[in-house]
Structure 1
Amino acid sequence: MDSLFATYNRWNVNVVSAEGSKIIDDQGNEYLDFVSGIAVNNLGNRHQKVQQAILEQLDQYWHVSNLYHQEPQQTLAKMLVEHSAGDAVFFCNSGAEANEAAIKLARKYTGKSKIITFKQSFHGRTFATMSATGQEKIHSGFGPLLQEFTYLQYNDSDGLASVMDDSVAAVLIEVIQGEGGVIPAQPEFLTSVEVLCKQYGALFIIDEVQTGIGRTGKPFAYQHFNLSPDIITVAKGLGSGLPIGAMIGKAKLKEAFGPGVHGSTFGGNPISVAAAKATLDIIFNDEFLNEVNEKGKLLKTGLKNELAGVESVLEVRGCGLMLGIACNGDVSPIISNLRENGLLVLNAGPNVIRLLPPLTITKEEIQQAIKLIKAELIKFDILHPV
């Protein structure tokens, strides 16, 4: 009998090993990994420099209390603030925890409670972050949610302007809605969010849990626009598979997050910090990020060209190596068939195929994936004519 809670619809893939962009199951099947642990393994599986950093830290210490000074935490925090609009970092274990910290800080700093988020957003599954998430399916069955979250239409500047007032503590937004369908924000919408936050004394919070750490070709996705958020949350790709999250905030916010206000027993664990430092050493590099942009253009252009005549495909959207193929029907059978043919991809809602390859993916592997996706979508068209 399975001793795990059935909280996941698990695929029929029993992983026994993984390296680079490949995963091997217990039947000896090899898969091209365009999931990356859901935007976690940005350097692929078991990157050697990250593995070496982990092994070196294991020989020093594994865990001590955050009551002690730990130089590796300071170094990692400095790397994050040097490549962002922030000045100070709080370390935790996940994206949900990073968003929890951001919600608490926004309320504490402003003295206000109302937080605006957006329909189809996703910010986590703790009670506060579930309440912040603008999806009914995430809320269902849990009774009353945390109060004073308002969900607005994404990319609707007028709608936001109509509800903004002095009671708003923060606006929390994703630059690209990941779980909601790989939906990019319009530049003018992001600008209006920032302007309105400043006008009404609300904090501008950007959730970079899925989009951050090089995924879109920049250290953080908001850097494609002329924005300066008050708080940035990050996790997933930060630790190359080891659990770590971070809330990055501006200096003015430090006064509201003093001793005893917030904490995390395992936040900034030295093993995870070692992995994160090694990860950022590689990714926060102009040459590496330029290659991510080139690969992203190759994948997006290739998909658009090859799928142009496929009737079931409505749109290819996204940025860098975070792309979605929007279709006119349920993509579950397509994802299942791709898996049978050796390509691992995700959905983002019922009608979107989500592609999150490692940032280290090769151009040859990109072409291989495009070929497999095209063949499967053509087959889908034949079996499901419009």
Structure 2
Amino acid sequence: MSALFQNYARRPVHIVEGKGTIVYDNEGKRYLDFTSGIAVCTLGHAHPAIVQALQQQSEKLWHISNLFESPEQEKLAAALVKDLPLAYAFFCNSGAEANEAAIKLARKHTGKHHIIVFEQSFHGRTFGAMSATGQDKVRNGFGPLVEQFTTLPFNDVAALEAAIDDTVAAIMLEPIQGEGGINVVTPEFAEAIQKICDKHDILLIVDEVQTGIGRTGTRFAFEQTALKPDIVSMAKGLGGGFPIGGILGSAKLFDTFTAGTHGTTFGGNPLAVAVAQTIIEHVFDDVFLQQVQAKSAYLQEQLQQAFTDEKFAVQGKGLMLGLYCGGEDVADYVTQLEQAGLLVVQAGPKVIRLLPPLIVSEAEIDEAVAILDKIINEL
């Protein structure tokens, strides 16, 4: 009998070891990991540089709290905002915490409380982040939510324009909805959002928890759009498996988060910062990002060749791709793929989400597509 709450629908596989894109279970079975811990293991499992950074830091200092200066946090913040329309960073422990910080910062800065969010979005499971999430399955059963979130259809310019008034503090969105089905913001919708924010002095919050840190082939996904965010939330890939999250904010927000307005005991601790610094030194390299784009193009090409029936569609950008399976529930596919040695995750009920480590090889892509082809086309 388990002593754990059963709030996870756990798969009956016990992963015990991993290297790069390959993991093994406790019975020695090999799997290609195209989940990356849900877009977390940026450089794969047990990357030597991350292991070394963590080992070296663990021998010096684990935790001192944010009562004291942290040159390491300063260095990481400067690297994250370099050449972006953002100026400052705050570090926490997770994506939900990052989005809570973003919501608090927007409300405090504007003095307003109304935030526009979108259907099928996912921003986290704490009360503020859950209230911002446009999926009833996440929110049901928890009583009154945080007030003054308006949920609109994604990529619907007319609906957005009709909802704007002088009470709106911020618009909050994912540039690619991950949990919601790998739904990409359209160029027209991104342009409309930015024009509205500029015209009405509304803050723009871009949730890059899943899309950030090279996942879509650029440092952040918003760089491929017309969006110019005031606040960017991040987590997942930033730590490569070590818990860290954060927000980046524009210069005009500096005086809003003053001493005592927000905080966290563990956020930006030395271990997490050492890992994150190592991650971005690898990922925020132009050649590395070009390789991610090339791998994305190759993976999309292979998928399109394997799934020629018009009911299939490949969605997403970079190495955050979804295979839409014609409106079918894909849960059985996910189970069969796992049994065949390929780990994937759903994006809603009808899309298979493919999130390989950014260091995945073409040979591993070929192997993964061959398994997808065999299982899905046969079924």
Name the TM tier (shorter chain): over 0.9
Distance 2:312 2:257 in 1: 46
Q: Deviations over 1:226-276 (max 9, x none)?
A: 332100000000011000001000011011100000000000011010000
Distance 2:189 2:15 in 1: 42
Match of 2:317 among 309, 316, 319: 319
Letter paired with 1:351: K
1:330 maps to 2:329: yes
> Does the CA contact (< 8 Å) of 2:181 and 2:347 recur in 1?
yes
> Does the CA contact (< 8 Å) of 2:193 and 2:227 recur in 1?
no
Equivalent pairs: percent with the same residue?
A: 49
1:85 maps to 2:105: no
Q: Structure 1 residue 85: deviation in Å?
A: 2.2
- In structure 2, the partner of 1:150 is 150
- In structure 2, the partner of 1:261 is 261
Q: Structure 1 residue 84: deviation in Å?
A: 3.0
Distance 2:42 2:209 in 1: 12
> Does the CA contact (< 8 Å) of 1:53 and 1:275 recur in 2?
yes
Q: Structure 1 residue 67: deviation in Å?
A: 1.2
Distance 1:186 1:260 in 2: 39
Q: Structure 1 residue 4: deviation in Å?
A: 1.0
Which 4+ stretches in 1 moved above 2 angstroms? Answer: none
1:1-386 superposed matches below 5 A: 1-309=1-309, 313-327=311-325, 328-380=327-379
For structure 2, the 5+ residue unaligned runs are none
Distance 2:155 2:175 in 1: 10
Counterpart secondary structure, 2:323: strand
> Does the CA contact (< 8 Å) of 1:40 and 1:236 recur in 2?
yes
> Does the CA contact (< 8 Å) of 1:98 and 1:233 recur in 2?
yes
Letter paired with 1:62: W
Counterpart secondary structure, 1:44: coil
Q: Deviations over 1:267-298 (max 9, x none)?
A: 00110100000000000000000000000000
Task: Between 223-232 and 163-172, report the one with greater CA deviation.
Answer: 223-232
Q: Deviations over 1:150-191 (max 9, x none)?
A: 000000111101111110000000100000000101011011
Q: Structure 1 residue 314: deviation in Å?
A: 2.8
Distance 1:236 1:49 in 2: 18
Q: Structure 1 residue 201: deviation in Å?
A: 1.6
Structure-1-length-normalised TM-score: 0.97
Distance 1:238 1:84 in 2: 17
Distance 2:197 2:54 in 1: 40
Counterpart secondary structure, 1:256: coil
Distance 2:240 2:323 in 1: 25
> Does the CA contact (< 8 Å) of 2:190 and 2:226 recur in 1?
no
> Does the CA contact (< 8 Å) of 1:118 and 1:173 recur in 2?
yes
Q: Structure 1 residue 87: deviation in Å?
A: 0.2
For structure 1, the 5+ residue unaligned runs are 381-386
C-alpha RMSD of the superposition: 0.9
Distance 1:23 1:62 in 2: 28
Counterpart secondary structure, 1:64: coil
> Does the CA contact (< 8 Å) of 2:65 and 2:269 recur in 1?
no
- In structure 2, the partner of 1:383 is none
Letter paired with 1:115: I
Structure-2-length-normalised TM-score: 0.98
Q: How many residues align?
A: 378
Q: Deviations over 1:50-83 (max 9, x none)?
A: 1101111111100002010011111100111115
Counterpart secondary structure, 1:23: strand
Letter paired with 2:378: K
Distance 2:65 2:364 in 1: 43
> Does the CA contact (< 8 Å) of 1:83 and 1:219 recur in 2?
no
Q: Structure 1 residue 7: deviation in Å?
A: 1.1
> Does the CA contact (< 8 Å) of 1:166 and 1:201 recur in 2?
no
Counterpart secondary structure, 2:238: helix
> Does the CA contact (< 8 Å) of 2:194 and 2:226 recur in 1?
no
Distance 1:228 1:330 in 2: 36
Distance 1:304 1:60 in 2: 49
Counterpart secondary structure, 2:356: coil
Letter paired with 1:197: C
Distance 1:84 1:246 in 2: 16
Distance 1:36 1:297 in 2: 19
